[in-house]
Structure 1
């Protein structure tokens, strides 16, 4: 474990946890401006979390420890990913855990925990949301694995820090067919995994459109605050992955204060820009019918497979 890895392991989870609600606020503000509204302000998500934390925790009758622990599991897995993935520094605090398969498994564990919590309530909404979420994750996780694996072929390692460092040393790879195909596949994965349009609409509670919201309807108070914070953190983590796997410039390669500060600013700027672009796209997109979502995800998986094939033939 290097000094650079330790610095990144300390700064990255703090940056993700503190900045994730602000990212959501920026995205909401961008959408509001484009729709001709004033918007609640960038800091509104933090105010909402503070209000929820002050409320009483309410647990539905008949639920088990699965329901109570799911928010903690969701937050914990996301924080571990924020610690190990190279967002601010090229070195990882826990290099063995920064492996592609370990990171995807941690992200999937959080999703499964929330789905089980939705089933644990015994409500129609919770079961419906969990069923839809499992349908989506069954297509999303293989695509995520294959898309990043395409980048790892030319590096010879599935370690995310190695992939980022390799792209940093050879910038021409960014415009290669492998990177372009993998980037498009990963963008679709991010949209689906984080419940954004056109796969899901996080701003509605309509029965016919709910996926993520249906699973967390029974949460209230501090538990709901944890779920909302974890959802914002997962969005930040996925956008950070997209930014640093394909555009790693600005990431700190040494443990000097100036380099680390530059890494923090670069990460914040890239994630904010990607979030703003995603919010702009949502304004002009309509939600897909549920039965059309697998077609979109299957198309992204095909792009990821093409990226893997191209990585072998064009190596």
Structure 2
């Protein structure tokens, strides 16, 4: 009973905090710019409003446009069931689940690109082709990072990796772990569509990637696509925080321990969200043809981290 409760609690925490993370990033950027900005809970209001609106589809679209938003939203929600937040008990846990997690996320990217192509517009096709290019560059780096932590922990189970990192593994291989986390940071920015890889606030046709694919989405479809984006970003930040910030991951035996663990998780996620928001204001977006250089740098960091582990 306790195990099931912990698994369900962690699953729903990831889902519920996802729009808040997006709101915190936007609020931080607004405050730094000198404006009040939207409420921290504005993404929740936007999703509720979009869910009530009618879906308008292009006359050139097919059944792909009807099913793709549901798949794009369902994929990260499914992955959330793999991911431990503050305890090793998850709804879906087995040997190799972290590898399964990567490829399930790639399935969501694939259907998002299909949705963009299916609209029959120039913007959708442009964004989809760019997204697949960025994804093909980010996935190898992510796999190399995962293999590095899997080798350090002697397991491909996410819960076991997190438990090891919250033990002494991180400090046992500090150089390897640090390089892997630097590579993971590049991957997180790429997969979540953040500067310097993409700009989530722009609608300029020459710079759009993610926004170009969902430009023709409306109503419930747009809400589902946004949910998929929010949850995916939260999953990547959770993965990063529970490896880079080895605190708050426990075998909880009391209500006070549970409350403290949830607080620590929220704190870690808030810090990472603020760091990313500040980075978006201080960094310039890369030209599209320079993105490959940045992602190759991330892949090389991941490769070096694996090599240094063996030294």
- On the 8 A contact 1:125/1:215 being kept in 2, the answer is yes
| 1:121-180 alpha-carbon deviations (Å, 9 max, x no partner) | 121111111100010000101111101211111221111111111111216527700110
Which range moved further: 270-279 or 45-54? 45-54
The Cα shift of 1:276 comes to 0.5
- On the 8 A contact 1:151/1:179 being kept in 2, the answer is yes
SS in 2 for 1:154: helix
- On the 8 A contact 2:95/2:155 being kept in 1, the answer is no
Count of residue pairs the alignment pairs up: 311
The Cα shift of 1:9 comes to 2.5
What's the TM-score once normalised by structure 1's chain length?
0.94
| 1:63-121 alpha-carbon deviations (Å, 9 max, x no partner) | 22221111211211111111111112123322127622100011111111100111111
Q: Which runs of 4+ in 1 moved over 4 A?
A: none
- On the 8 A contact 2:199/2:208 being kept in 1, the answer is yes
Please tell me whether residue 211 in structure 1 is matched to residue 222 in structure 2: no
- On the 8 A contact 2:197/2:291 being kept in 1, the answer is yes
Please tell me whether residue 156 in structure 1 is matched to residue 151 in structure 2: no
Change (3 A) 1:255 1:104: farther
Could you say what the CA RMSD is over the residues aligned between the two structures, in angstroms? 1.6
Aligned match of 1:173: 171
Please tell me whether residue 304 in structure 1 is matched to residue 302 in structure 2: yes
Counterparts of 1:26 and 1:235 in 2: how far apart (Å)? 13
Counterparts of 1:130 and 1:137 in 2: how far apart (Å)? 10
- On the 8 A contact 1:98/1:161 being kept in 2, the answer is no
Counterparts of 1:174 and 1:90 in 2: how far apart (Å)? 21
Counterparts of 2:170 and 2:300 in 1: how far apart (Å)? 24
The Cα shift of 1:291 comes to 0.2
Please tell me whether residue 52 in structure 1 is matched to residue 57 in structure 2: no
Gaps of 5+ in 1: none
The Cα shift of 1:12 comes to 2.3
Aligned match of 1:109: 107
Gaps of 5+ in 2: none
